[in-house]
Amino acid sequence: MRLDLRVGIDVGGTNTDAVVLDENNRILARTKQATTSDVRSGMQNALTYVIDALGTEAQRIGRVMLGTTHATNAILERRSLGRVAAIRLGAPASLSLEPMESWPDDLRDAVCVDTCILEGGHYVDGRRISPLDEDGLRNFLSSVAKTADAIAITSIFSPTSPQDEERARQIVSEVLGNNMAVTLSHEIGSVGLLERENATILNAALFGVIGQVISATQDVIAGAGLVVEMLLAQNDGTLMALDFARRFPILTIGSGPANSLRGAAFLTGLTNSIVVDVGGTSTDFGVLINGYPRESAAAVEIGGVRTNFRMPDLLSIAIGGGTIVSGTAAQPVVGPLSVGHRLTSDALISGGATPTLTDALVAEGRLQLGNHAVPQIELERLQSALHSATESIADAIDQITLGNALLPLIAVGGGSLLIPHDIAGVSHVLHPENGDIANAIGAAIAWVSGHWEGVVAHGDEFNEAITNGRAIACRRAIEAGADPQIVEVVDQTETPLSYLNSPTVRLVIKAAGPLRHL
């Protein structure tokens, strides 16, 4: 039996989509199911649907790629989060604000075991702030031994001087054993202490969630009688192996939009363009550069907490297919509320009483949907609401393109017809077939990546170290399933470190390649 089929699943806020592709990337089955509050049954529904649609061919499924909002939801709903002991190294600096002090109370209550600020850390130029307080660290770790699920360690200026975090990790394993989960801040974010620390703590709080996602998905897969490899989508548009995902669960946050962008690239063959993903409640604009999402350096707020880890650069507006229209014909009010799931019961075209933008599209003749006509009396208001929504979309396009009107626009997502063909600010508009499941397709066609990072001194061994690092990153991508013939280094970031003696850089290398045949 050839295992030449793969399933892409995208669990979004409103819908869970699944698609099955063969090795020539032909779509063999697809579905769009409602996301359920337990997430798992929605995923099960979607997977069961496509497996049934394939019939006996389902035995050819060799891989399942999952993009999911589990991690985001866990933070937003303060559910299933692990208990974290947060350690900051850098005293006497930074004592004025404790770790998690600025967090919303309920999130801190859900996550925080205890915090401490110990001596350690570095100045911007690599000088020590103070010697690492190893005794203090051991004492603190002993005090949380029974209560903490994970440890988050953040040292001042660790993005350029990571050694105290590395040493602290050794001490954690000495005191609490090798099984205690640890997150180091320099592996998560950049300069900006509180934002990096917040992202580090959230990552540590998500170890349990990602474990549950992985085992639940494996159960669903096993329940369907399949034996497959599983990969998780991350927010740079590539797939990660399960062991990497278990270390960096926060990287699943933002994987949905990244998948949409990659799916849009695949469906159109375009590598540089604007992508708009129109959902039920909101619309995300992103930019594809050489086939991958443009990334943002700005701080991102998650669940009321400011963070600074890598994310796709997105512009979101509160307009979607389910957006509720109110106000008058002269002054329509468009959103921000949406009927969401209830489009099929509450919208005018479904016989409901709530006018939505989908009703406006049907009334304009741009979409055929529903079994009820839009009442005559609503037509004028819906028309002007659609006009106003189009203006907001054009404004957003202007902002995300930075005024460069030469790029094409790819419209995907369930509500993509909200984007007219003649919208201003782009060279032309594409509505690719199957664009409504672009995110699941993006997960299914994604390349798999592997990483290597390390600190390398300039000098004779610099090039050799880089060559080694690149080889390790490629090997890890291959171990995760990449085709050894095609895998290549796709990103190499050098951050100069501030050591006083010899010039040194922190090197992060990412290799990626398409999945090899099973």
Partner 1 sequence: MSKKKIISIAQITQDDVEDLAFGCALLGTGGGGSVGGAILEVKSAIKKFGPVTVVQLENVPADGLVMPICGIGAPTISFEMLNNGGEAQLLRQEVERVFNKPVVAIMASEIGGSNGVEPVMWASRLGLPIVDADTMGRAFPEVQMGSFFVRGLPLTPIILVDFQGNSITITPTSGESAESESRAFTIAAGGVALMADYINPAATMIGNVIVGSISNAIEMGRAVRGTHEPMKRLTDLLGAHALITGKISEIERHTHGGFVRGSVTICGTGIDSGRQVSIDIQNENLVAKENGRILASVPDLISMLDTQTGTAIATEEMKYAMRVTAMAWPCDPLWRTERALQTVGPRAFGYDIDYVPIEKSQR
Residues that bind partner 1 (CB under 8 A): 90-97, 101-102, 123-125, 127, 129, 156-157, 191-194, 395, 398-399, 402-403
Distance set, CA 165 to CA 91, 131, 168 (Å): 14, 13, 5
Cα distance between the two ends of the chain:
10
CB of 149 to partner 1, least distance (A): 27
Q: Look at residues 394, 446, 458 and name the one whose alpha carbon lies nearest to residue 425.
A: 394
CB of 127 to partner 1, least distance (A): 8
Q: Quick one: 129 or 482, whose CB is closer to partner 1?
A: 129
Q: Quick one: 86 or 511, whose CB is closer to partner 1?
A: 86
Q: Quick one: 193 or 360, whose CB is closer to partner 1?
A: 193
Decide: 441 and 410 in contact? Cβ < 8 Å: no
- Rounded Cα–Cα distance for residues 202 and 302 (Å): 9
CB of 395 to partner 1, least distance (A): 8
Residue 285, token pair as written in the block: 């604009």
What single string gives the DSSP state of each residue in 232-253?
A: EE-TTS-EE-HHHHHH-GGGGT
Angle at 98 between CA 92 and CA 102, to 5 degrees: 145
Residues found in the chain: 518
- Rounded Cα–Cα distance for residues 386 and 210 (Å): 40
Q: Quick one: 56 or 96, whose CB is closer to partner 1?
A: 96
Decide: 349 and 358 in contact? Cβ < 8 Å: yes
CB of 458 to partner 1, least distance (A): 24
CB of 284 to partner 1, least distance (A): 17
Chain centre distance of CA 505: 28
Q: Quick one: 15 or 185, whose CB is closer to partner 1?
A: 185
CB of 316 to partner 1, least distance (A): 15
Lookup result for tokens 């360690």: 153
Decide: 150 and 84 in contact? Cβ < 8 Å: yes
Q: Look at residues 97, 78, 123 and name the one whose alpha carbon lies nearest to residue 194.
A: 97
Q: Quick one: 142 or 399, whose CB is closer to partner 1?
A: 399
Q: Look at residues 435, 409, 431 and name the one whose alpha carbon lies nearest to residue 273.
A: 409
Q: Quick one: 92 or 459, whose CB is closer to partner 1?
A: 92
CB of 188 to partner 1, least distance (A): 14
Decide: 124 and 97 in contact? Cβ < 8 Å: no
Q: What share of the chain is helix, strand, coil (3-state, %, to 5)?
A: 35, 30, 35
Q: Quick one: 126 or 514, whose CB is closer to partner 1?
A: 126
E-state strands within 47-83: 61-68
Decide: 148 and 185 in contact? Cβ < 8 Å: no
CA within 13 Å, CB half, 499:
15
Q: Look at residues 10, 50, 16, 49 and name the one whose alpha carbon lies nearest to residue 35.
A: 16
CB of 406 to partner 1, least distance (A): 15
CB of 197 to partner 1, least distance (A): 10
H/E stretch holding 205 reads helix 193-205
Q: Quick one: 193 or 389, whose CB is closer to partner 1?
A: 193
Q: Quick one: 90 or 513, whose CB is closer to partner 1?
A: 90
Q: Quick one: 244 or 285, whose CB is closer to partner 1?
A: 285
CB of 286 to partner 1, least distance (A): 16
Residue 91's DSSP bridge partners are 119
SS3 266: helix
CB of 109 to partner 1, least distance (A): 17
Decide: 221 and 246 in contact? Cβ < 8 Å: no
CB of 185 to partner 1, least distance (A): 11
Q: Quick one: 373 or 424, whose CB is closer to partner 1?
A: 424
E-state strands within 433-516: 448-457, 488-497, 504-513
